[in-house]
Structure 1
Amino acid sequence: MAKHIPANQKIWTGRNSQSIDYWHQAMSFVKVTGKKKVALLGYCGDEGVRRNQGRIGAAEGPDSIRKMLAGMAYHLSDSLQILDLGNILTVGNDMEGSHQLLTEKVTELLQENIFPVLIGGGHDLALAHGRAILKHLEQKNESLGIINLDAHFDLRDLNGGKGHSGSPFYQLSQESPDQFQYLCLGIQKPANPASLFKTAKSTKTQWMDMEEFRIDNWDYIAETLQHFYQKVNKIYLSIDLDGFSTAFAPGVSAPSPLGFSPELAFKVMEWLAISGKMISMDVVELNPKYDQDNATARLAARCIEFMLRKLFIRMEKP
């Protein structure tokens, strides 16, 4: 069993002004007609992290990200409505129940032409998120490409017959093998055993090692993105905060000192915004328990703000 908890409007506070200058002033909780819409939906679950032997605490991530977004300067168009739809809460260890509810909610958003931004929470949410998008696009006879900024493939096998935060893309590959198109950027070999590279090859996963995923190698990265982009109709972007170096993201479930930089991640996001194929995104694995001065929460919030600003300003150009 899972719960859908309505948005906590008290989180959205900050500096006031006469015009809408900050995110907390722009946030809505009820849909209005006549506007493009973006919806924030939190996933308060770290059962998948526990099953994957990670550091518990990601269930507190969504509201921490909201708090950092609230005080940010707002630069989106008046023709866009930003909605906070609250959180999907895992009850006990029923991760699968929360996944089902999450899939239902994302499917509803896509059917209403609302751009979903999921915030977590364990990376297992990508299974529920991906299921919803694949189901939606199947009805349109369109293909999906999944791009994951991450240190890990998340292609691990089930644990005792159950999914976890390290298995979402493996599960998607098994459920929809003909539709599975997956590119993972930032793979770290010390964090992925040889068996996972074999799984990656067997699922036709594309990837770029951390050694290649560097800002001074941008031409090759852009070429890789272009090749992937040409094969799909829509793109779902997943950002695992543990892919960043701990210098930028200490508050994650699986920290690493040698991750990619925000500068490179933002360059990828800008490229994807310009592509015109983005359908959805998520930012996952924030663990406030281990954060320092909210650095990781701020980075997560900046990822969301940057992507939406680049995406919707691009869409509104004549």
Structure 2
Amino acid sequence: MLHPSENSYHGRTSINREYWHERIRLSNINALDKIEAGKKPALLGFCSDTGVQRNQGRIGAKNGPDAIRQALGPLAYHARFDYIQDFGNCWDYDGNLEEGHDELYGHIHSLLAHNYFPVIFGGGHDLAYPHGKAVMDYCLAKNDKVGIINLDAHLDLRDLANGQRHSGSPFFQLAEAYGKDFHYCCLGMQPASNPKSLLTYAEKINACIVDSSDFQQENWQGIQDQLEHFCADKNKLYLSIDLDGFSSAYAPGVSAPSPLGFSPILAMKIIDWLMASKKMSAMDIVELNPLFDQDNCTAKLAARLVEYTIRKM
């Protein structure tokens, strides 16, 4: 575990701390204080390429967390919190993804237990397994029913590869681990990127899927109806945002780019709706690959989505 670095945040200076970099408090995750009155966001990164590499993607996502921080720093600050705590990064220890996941799981579970709202920066989408596991374990112990919402071109319901977890398997692992308690919704799924075997498995576990042809702004009422149906009986929601779900016009710097993805405006409408539900417990944003970014626009998109979510808390 690495402590966060002050070098990750830069921006204009102001008298009244009007920018994000002036509102960041670098914190030690091993010295958590419980917040009694309402949740506060907690930033945490997972620096790993291993899951992406195992899934035959373009490596480089291990640099994603600090690229998001660098894009966050200069943004104007409008959240209601006096400061935002950043707890640094976890690593996968020279390719030992499983060990890295175990550490990440423990830290996220501890954040939840101390009444924080985890905001996890990736890294590959494999981190959704320890993240989702922490949310599930914490919430199920309190008899809460959890809904997992994934904004993504891919279902990420692939089986393990030679017995190893990877960036395409996190929701398969969660489905197999939690059975009837696993409730999953994927928004923006692209049929061309998901073979029939995955769609068959999604049907088997009764997943809610809105494919890319229907995940369009002009179909907002239909999307909202799906969300209302999925979320109606859930007490808690966990949102995972895979940047490769966006059109590569907005997000070229990802592990698996696509020209036919969704728009940032639609994603923000989803965030708005979810935050208004008052059921959101955690989120992550994954697959930023700075090696392939253009003018840092993908990192800036990730930062704007984080800023928007926390502003809506």
What's the TM-score, normalizing by structure 1? 0.95
Amino acid in the other structure paired with 1:19: N
Q: Do structure 1's residue 74 and structure 2's residue 77 form an aligned pair?
A: yes
Q: Offset of 1:37 from its aligned partner?
A: 2.2
Aligned positions, number: 307
Q: Offset of 1:121 from its aligned partner?
A: 0.3
Q: Which moved more, 1:31-40 or 1:294-303?
A: 31-40
Amino acid in the other structure paired with 1:40: L
The DSSP-based 3-state class of the residue aligned with 1:176 is helix
Q: Do structure 1's residue 60 and structure 2's residue 57 form an aligned pair?
A: no
Between the aligned partners of 2:13 and 2:236, the Cα distance in structure 1 is: 38
After superposition, residues 35-46 of structure 1 pair within 5 angstroms as 36-46=39-49
Q: CA contact under 8 A between 2:216 and 2:262: conserved in structure 1?
A: yes
Q: Which moved more, 1:255-264 or 1:36-45?
A: 36-45
1:147 to 146, 149, 154: 149
Q: Offset of 1:81 from its aligned partner?
A: 3.4
Between the aligned partners of 2:304 and 2:257, the Cα distance in structure 1 is: 19
Q: CA contact under 8 A between 1:37 and 1:80: conserved in structure 2?
A: no
Q: CA contact under 8 A between 1:37 and 1:81: conserved in structure 2?
A: no
Match of 1:315 in 2: none
Match of 1:316 in 2: none
* RMSD of aligned residue pairs (Cα, Å): 1.2
Q: Deviations over 1:11-49 (max 9, x none)?
A: 222110111100000000236767752110000011000
Match of 1:279 in 2: 281
Where structure 2 has 5 or more consecutive residues not aligned to the other structure, the ranges are none
The DSSP-based 3-state class of the residue aligned with 1:178 is helix
Q: Which moved more, 1:201-210 or 1:95-104?
A: 201-210
Match of 1:127 in 2: 129
Between the aligned partners of 1:228 and 1:34, the Cα distance in structure 2 is: 30
Between the aligned partners of 1:10 and 1:262, the Cα distance in structure 2 is: 28
Q: Which moved more, 1:227-236 or 1:27-36?
A: 27-36
Q: CA contact under 8 A between 1:14 and 1:24: conserved in structure 2?
A: yes
Match of 2:18 in 1: 21
Amino acid in the other structure paired with 1:135: D
After superposition, residues 154-303 of structure 1 pair within 5 angstroms as 154-303=156-305
Between the aligned partners of 2:122 and 2:225, the Cα distance in structure 1 is: 30
Between the aligned partners of 2:11 and 2:215, the Cα distance in structure 1 is: 37
Amino acid in the other structure paired with 1:274: A
Between the aligned partners of 2:220 and 2:57, the Cα distance in structure 1 is: 32
Q: Deviations over 1:45-99 (max 9, x none)?
A: 110000000000000000000000000000012x453111000011112000010
Between the aligned partners of 2:286 and 2:311, the Cα distance in structure 1 is: 20
The DSSP-based 3-state class of the residue aligned with 1:126 is helix
Between the aligned partners of 1:290 and 1:242, the Cα distance in structure 2 is: 12
Amino acid in the other structure paired with 1:110: L
Q: CA contact under 8 A between 2:36 and 2:115: conserved in structure 1?
A: no
2:53 to 40, 50, 65: 50
Runs of 4+ that moved beyond 3 A:
30-36
Q: CA contact under 8 A between 2:23 and 2:82: conserved in structure 1?
A: no
